[in-house]
Amino acid sequence: MNHKPIIIILSIIIPVVVAILYVTPKVSGFEIDFLPLLNAIVNGTVFFTLIFAVKAIKNGNRALHQKLIYLALILSTIFLLSYITHHLTHESVKFGGEGFIKYFYYFILISHITLSAVIMPMVLITLSRALKENFEHHKKIARITFPMWLYVSFTGVLVYVLISPYYI
């Protein structure tokens, strides 16, 4: 199967939808204030799931690796849906820190946002190559995809920890 059209469509539509969230009016009447914490928990779980998935494949356990990667993909999808829901119903929270922590926060936030847009097509291409059993090419891109996905999941948690004191 040719996954390229699906990868291209998702890689364009999802970042556009997320960007639109920041300029659309918020849906009122929903009290779902737990979503940022849920997102951080999901991101943290993805982080550890990815580590265990790589450990599994390095130990020659392809079946466990595959299950863990599917789990990371499902969790990432849950994160995305939760993230969209949160930003449909809540205004963005402004970071209130000053000095070094402010610059640190914005560096982490900007790198997290940038790499989260880049990582999606990379994850999908990596998955596509595995599904096609093109393991030589899968392994080549996975060596780039893995640390980036790990960084995005970790910094997602870090962004939450840094911004959480400013939630109302």
Domains of the chain with bracketed CATH:
4-166 (1.20.120)
Contact assessment for residue 36 and residue 59, using Cβ atoms and an 8 Å cutoff: no
Contacts for 130 with CB less than 8 Å, ≥ 6 apart: 66, 69, 138
Of 148, 128, 129, nearest in space to 138 by CA: 129
Q: Tell me if residue 120 falls in helix, strand or coil.
A: helix
Q: How confident is the model over 120-136, as pLDDT tens digits?
A: 999 999 999 999 999 99
Contact assessment for residue 48 and residue 68, using Cβ atoms and an 8 Å cutoff: no
pLDDT at 168: 66
- One digit per residue, the tens of pLDDT, for the chain of length 168 reads 899 999 999 999 999 999 999 898 888 887 788 999 999 999 999 999 999 999 999 999 999 999 999 999 999 999 999 999 999 999 889 999 999 999 999 999 999 999 999 999 999 999 999 999 999 999 999 999 999 999 999 999 999 999 999 986
Report how far apart the first and last C-alpha atoms of the chain are (Å, whole number).
48
Model-level pTM?
0.93
Nearest-angstrom CA–CA distance, 152 and 168: 25
Of 164, 130, 125, 24, nearest in space to 84 by CA: 24
Of 23, 25, 43, 26, nearest in space to 35 by CA: 43
pLDDT at 19: 92
